[in-house]
Chains A and B, each alone.
Chain A
């Protein structure tokens, strides 16, 4: 937890946020839960640990009892009767475990709530309250601070980006045998700005070169940016509206500066969700460019005949993990299936799938919260069971956050699978144009 032990002042700040930041949506949700408990086994955390505290309704109750105590008549007059609780340090401690350790904001409970409320919105509000008390896990806070200070959550310098792109470009030219193959950077007037997860630059350059190959083969007019390229937004996970706005705002400003028609978000679930759906609300305006996931763009290329794929190049059984923020909360549902059917010889679905899919257990920023690692791996058991049941050798997922968690699950549960991005699988299946004559 935070380096500064929260005391009375922290509780006071939390109370102020509980009073000032309650919007109509959250208020309606807080007043709607009837504690029927039917949400319990829709949650992967509860399914994995079976603890009452992991039931979505229980997690909602952690903050709802403060709401009732401080913002309802009966809560003030008869707190014990309505289960209202004065917001205090002990309550905040319990709330922190519920909001950051037992919930990945995946939204599966929302889709299945019998009343029709969204517990993940309530949990995000709980995180805002905790943030005011300085109780955001240090790992999440550090990512926010680094992104605000350097422009990306890994503190990668412009020079490092340019150096990585230079050798990736050389590699691309060698692979394609085409010296004209390029990975343009900071090119004004390009049609597409491709923005990435810093992990791709630092740890997974293969997914970046796969995307470059796909853009090249599709004949796209595209560019990368050497600054403000980060699509991730830990401000969203911290439920820190100011930080989230600032982080998203910089990429939006960069896209406007470059004058692109389209901002294409690399394979990152929450990156897509925040830039496609949340950022216009945070910034208070629609954008002069379109925002799409790279998954949608690849599917469009395929449909338009700009990509030809040979599924025989991916002969092993492939299954798909649907990232919650891209699918259930983002609406990109079928495109990845279209791509995998074309790019892999033996594509099988997990059960359940699409918007009903289970979270991998690594969402909501929990990957950065090391104090919840054991809980995260335990919650991932549901996903591990799903993967094992498919008999797949390859798990595709269009989200680097999910991929990190899936790789850990692969080790923890001995699944014996390879975890890959969609772009990597599609790039492997590309039927390349004939090499130009020397």
Chain B
């Protein structure tokens, strides 16, 4: 195993351990006592499936380019992380997989850059932004760029592994920790809305947005 692969491996273990500690410190939500009107399980399933559809939320349907960019960005991040893990095995990816993942990462990189520019340009977004928002976005963009470069040339692999290690070490510390907490958030809110019979919508129109 190369020195950069060893660094990456250590970063992975550290990151996972940090996320486990964060999760344990957060605790768990108690089982609800009020009798359900709908199904919590169905609500959770909805939260992790249909709720991602652009038409399911006004925030997505009204801001389709931003929402699509966000989805592309996150797909690229997960693709890059898979490639990062795969890089530890030292075996090349089949050419088709290499090309497909490179394409996903390239699209995500463009989307991430666009979102970063939007954060810089939109006064509404600047009003809620903190310096870390720009840093985290930049760091992820850098990781995606390194992942793309690796797909184009294996010579870039050490850079990808080092940048990836930095990203993994940073993730539990700042806003990137949402990758863990959004799972809880989506589950908890989905269960609540499901239990109360609010989501998924049971009425014929699907939504009340007219």
Contact = CB atoms under 8 A, between A and B. Distances in A.
Interface of A: 23-25, 27-29, 31-42, 52-53, 55, 57-58, 61, 72-74, 80-83, 110-118, 276-281, 284-286, 290, 322, 327-331, 333-334, 349, 351-357
Given A23-B27, A31-B178, 18 more contacts: A25-B29, A28-B188, A31-B177, A35-B128, A74-B174, A81-B132, A81-B135, A82-B132, A82-B175, A111-B193, A111-B198, A111-B199, A118-B188, A277-B196, A327-B198, A329-B196, A330-B196, A333-B198
A117 to B, nearest CB: 4
B158 interface: no
B33 A353 contact: no
A83 B131 contact: yes
B67 A38 contact: yes
A80 B131 contact: yes
A353 B189 contact: no
13 contacts: A31-B177, A31-B178, A35-B128, A35-B130, A55-B127, A82-B174, A83-B131, A113-B57, A276-B34, A280-B34, A322-B208, A333-B197, A355-B198
B81 interface: no
A281 B70 contact: no
B59 A113 contact: yes
Contacts of B202: 333-334
A117 B182 contact: yes
A74 B173 contact: yes
Nearest to A356: B208
Contact of A334 (B124, B177, B203, B207): B203
A-B residue pairs, 10 tightest by C-beta:
A83-B130, A354-B208, A351-B210, A116-B186, A52-B127, A331-B197, A331-B196, A31-B181, A38-B59, A28-B184
Interface in B115-158: 122-125, 127-133, 135
B210 A114 contact: no
Interface residues of B, number: 61
A357 B208 CA distance: 7
B196 A35 contact: no
Contacts of B186: 115-116
Contacts of B51: 116
Contacts of A58: 127-128
Contacts of B174: 74, 82
A329 B185 CA distance: 16
A276 B180 CA distance: 31
A328 B185 contact: no
Contact of B185 (A32, A42, A53, A351): A32
Contacts of B66: 36, 38
Contacts of B201: 354-355
B162 interface: no
A231 B63 CA distance: 40
Interface string B49-79: 0010000011110110011001000000000
B185 A117 contact: yes
Contacts of B173: 72-74
B32 to A, nearest CB: 6
Nearest to A279: B34
Contact of A33 (B34, B123, B178): B178
